[in-house]
Amino acid sequence: MKDIAFVDILLRFGFIPFSTGMSARTQIIEVGVMSDWLWWRDGVIYQIYPRSFADSNGDGIGDLNGIMGKLDYLADLGVDAIWLSPIYPSPDVDFGYDVADYYGIDPKYGSMDDFHRLLDEAHARGIRVIMDLVLNHTSDQHPWFIQSRSSRENPYRDWYIWRDGRNPHSPPNNWGSVFGGRGWKFDPSTGQWYYHMFAPQQPDLNWRYEPVRQEMLNIFRYWLDKGVDGFRLDVFNEYFKDDQFRDNPWKLGIRRFESQKHVYDADRPEMMELVEAIRLILDEYSQRYAVGETYLADEKRAVEFTGLSRLHAAFDFSLLHSKWSAASFMKTAQYWDTLNIADHWPNNVMNNHDNPRSASRYGRGEKDERLKVAAAFLLTLRGTPFLYQGEEIGMRDIHLNASELRDPVGKKYWPLKVGRDGCRSPMQWDGSEFSGFSSVKPWLKVHPNHTFRNVENQLQDPESLLHFYRKLLQVRKSSKALQRGMFQPITFDPQRLAAYLRQDDSETVLVALNFGRRKVRLGLGPDLANRDWELLVSSKNRSAVGIKNRWLPLSGEEVCILKSWN
Ligand code: NOJ
Ligand code: CA
C-alpha cells in the first residue's frame, strides 16, 4: 500500500493518479473463480476478414484454404482463437454481412468440407474458431425475403418488418439507415414499406415473430453441432425495434441516422431475455462463447449484456476512438475496473474491419514505435485482446480513388466519407506484386507499402513490430498475472507516461509506457523500487532493468515490462 501513498506524492508533482474502483472484493472473486485457463478469457482472439486474408485458388478473393495455409503463422504468432467475418453465401452488397443462407459456405470461400477441415486443422493447433452471426437482417436475396415480398399473404410475410406508410408517399416513421437516407423502402408490388437498418438490400428480420426466433436459435445449434467454438453477434442489440414504431427524437447532426437519438429503433428491453436464451443454448455445450457487437451503445450498456447468464463479452469500442495520449488510453480501462470482474469480463479492441487502422491513426509515417506502445497496452490490459489481421505488421489504410471503392458507404458518400475499404486491403505476406495474397489482381487494392511492409520481411527482422507482437503474446501466455491478475494503476500523466501493475497471488508485472517522444522517469515507491525485477519486454533494447534511486527512466516511446515474484 506504500506505493499507493507514493502516488499521492506524484500527484503534487503534477502526475494524475488513476481513480481506481478496484476493490478487495473484486480481487477475492478473481482468485476464487478464475483458477482454470479459459480460452476466451485468458487467450488472444484474432479477427480474419476472409476476403482479404489469403487467396488459395487465384481468383483475387481470400478463401478458407488460404486461411488453412496460414494456420501455422497464426499458431506461431500465438493466437488462441480466430474470428471469421461472415463466410456464408452472400451477394456481397455488404461483403458477407448480407447473408443469403445461414447454413452454407459461399463457394467463393470454399465448400463445407473445406470448412470442416479448417475447423479440424485449427483445433489441432489449439486454435478455436468463432463464426460471425449476422441475425439482425438478411440479404434481400435470401429465399425468406424473396417469399416475404412476393405477396402480403405469403407465409414468410411476417418474417420481416412490413408496414403501411403514413400516406402513399411517406414511410411509417422517421427511422433512418446507418448507410444513409431513410430506413424504409417502399415495395410497389405489395404497397407496403420494409425496414432496413443498413442497406436496402439488407432487410431487417422480425424477431418478434416466433418462427423467426426459433429459426435463429437453430442456427446457433447448427454451427455448435459442427464444433465451432463461439460467435460474434453482429449488431445484436438492434434485433428488436419498438413495438409501436414510434418516431425517434431528433438531435443535431448532418445525415438522418446521426441526427436522431436511437431510442426506438435500437437497444430495446426485449433483448435481455433473448441474450439469456442464447446463453442457455451455448451452455448446453462445453466452453462455447459469444461476444456481442454492441452497436450505438456505450461501455456501460455493453456491460449490462454480459454476465454468467448473459453473453460472455460485449465489445467496448472505446480504444478504437482513443486519442494518442497516456490519459486517453488509460481512460478506456477505467470503467471496467469498477466492475465485478467475475461477472463482466472486459475485452479490448484497437482495430476491426469497420474502422481506420490504429497504424493509420497513431503511426507517424512508416515508423512503428508508437504502435509498439499501443500493442503493449492492448496486450497487458485486463480483458481479452482482439487483434485484427495485419495489425501485427502495422498495416496502414489504403487510399482509393472513386473508381476503386468497394464499400457501399464509401461509394455513397465519397469524398465526404471514404467508407471502410481503407482497413480491408489484402494482407501483406510478401513484397511480390500482389503481396503474396493472390497470384492475380485482388478484389481490393494492395497497399503500395507492401514492397517493404510485409510478413516475410518482418519475420527476418528481430526488431520488427511482428516480433514485438509475438513476444507480447508469448509473455502474456506465460503470465497468469497478465491474463487474469488485478489491474492496479500506478500513475499516468495527461500526455506521456502510463504505468500500471498486473498482479496475482504469485507474480507482479509492471508495465511502463512512454507515449511521448522525450525521455520520462517513472517514480516508484520503495516497495516497488526495491523488488527483484526481471526484464520481460523492452522496445528499445534495454539490457537491464535499470531502476536507479526509485526512478525507472524511459526513453521516447519506450515500452518496458518487468516482472517479479511476490
Ligand atoms: C457491423 C459490421 O461490423 C459491419 O461491417 C456491417 O456493415 C454491419 N454490422 C451490418 O451488418
Ligand atoms: Ca480465392
For 53-65, write each residue's pLDDT tens digit. Answer: 999 999 999 999 9
Helices (DSSP H) in 50-142: which residue ranges? Answer: 64-69, 71-77, 112-124
Q: Does the pLDDT of residue 22 top 70, yes or no?
A: no
Residue reference for cell 497504424 = 359
Asked if residue 302 has pLDDT above 70, the reply is: yes
> What atom of ligand 1 comes closest to residue 134's alpha carbon?
11
Q: Predicted confidence band at 358 (pLDDT cuts at 50, 70, 90)?
A: very high
Rounded to whole angstroms, the Cα distance separating 183 from 171 reads: 9
User: What value, to the nearest 5°, has the Cα angle with vertex 341 and ends 338 and 347?
Assistant: 95
Average pLDDT over residues 247-257: 95
Summary mean pLDDT of the chain:
92
- Strand, coil or helix: what is 26? helix
Neighbours of 71 (CB within 10 A): 16
Pocket test for ligand 1, best of 140, 201, 234 (most atoms within 8 A of CB): 234
Least confident residue range of 272-276, 302-306, 434-438: 302-306
Of the listed ranges 8-17, 308-317, 350-359, the one predicted with least confidence: 8-17
Distance 62 CA to ligand 2 centre (A): 5
Distances (CA, A) of 358 to 114, 271, 369, 370, 375: 32, 32, 12, 10, 10
Atom of ligand 1 nearest to the CA of 94: 7
Closest atom, ligand 1, to C-alpha of 352: 3
Q: How far is the CA of 322 from the centre of ligand 1 (A)?
A: 21
Give the confidence band of 81 by pLDDT, cuts at 50, 70, 90: very high
Mean pLDDT value across residues 529-544 = 94
Average pLDDT in the 235-249 region? 97
Which three-class secondary structure state does DSSP give residue 42?
helix
354 lines ligand 1 (CB under 6 A): yes
For the Cβ of 296 lying below 6 angstroms from any atom of ligand 1, the answer is: no
pLDDT-derived band at 34 (thresholds 50, 70, 90) equals very low
* Angstrom distance (rounded) from CA 524 to CA 405: 51
pLDDT for res 35: 53
* Nearest CA among 93, 87, 92 for reference residue 177: 93
Question: Is 14 a residue whose pLDDT tops 90?
Answer: no
- DSSP strand E in 392-516: where? 486-492, 497-503, 507-514
Q: Which ligand is nearest to the CA of 438?
A: 2
Torsion sign across C-alpha atoms 244, 249, 250, 255: negative
pLDDT at 541: 87
Q: What pLDDT sits at residue 5? A: 32
pLDDT score of 212: 98
Q: What is the dihedral of CA 426, 427, 431, 433, to 10 degrees?
A: -20
- Catalytic residue flag (residue 76): no
Task: Pick from 177, 198, 202 the residue to mutate for probing ligand 1's pocket: most ligand atoms within 8 Å of its CB.
Answer: 198
| Least confident range of 2-16, 448-462, 482-496 | 2-16
pLDDT (average), residues 336-360: 91
Per-residue pLDDT, 463: 97
Pocket test for ligand 1, best of 52, 88, 134, 139 (most atoms within 8 A of CB): 134
Quick check: 260 and 250 in contact, CB under 8 A? yes
Question: Containing H/E element for 144?
Answer: helix 143-148
Q: Predicted confidence band at 416 (pLDDT cuts at 50, 70, 90)?
A: confident
Residue with cell 537491464: 544
Cβ distance 373 to 517 under 8 Å?
no
Residue 444's alpha-carbon distances to 53, 425, 517, in angstroms, are 12, 6, 35
pLDDT exceeds 80 at position 18: no
* Lowest-confidence region among 235-249, 290-304, 360-374: 290-304
The position carrying cell 439469456 is 276
Q: Residue 33 has what pLDDT? A: 38
| Atom number of ligand 1 nearest to Cα 293 | 1
- Ligand 2 centroid distance, CA of 107 (Å): 9
Largest CA distance in the chain: 81
Of 72, 276, 283, 284, the active-site residue reads: 284
Exactly one of 98, 234, 265, 407 is catalytic; name it. Answer: 234
Give the Cα-Cα-Cα angle 242, 247, 253 (nearest 5 degrees). 120
Distance 132 CA to ligand 2 centre (A): 19
Q: What is the mean pLDDT of residues 416-433?
A: 96
Decide which of 396 and 316 is more confident.
396
Query: Is 284 annotated as catalytic?
Result: yes
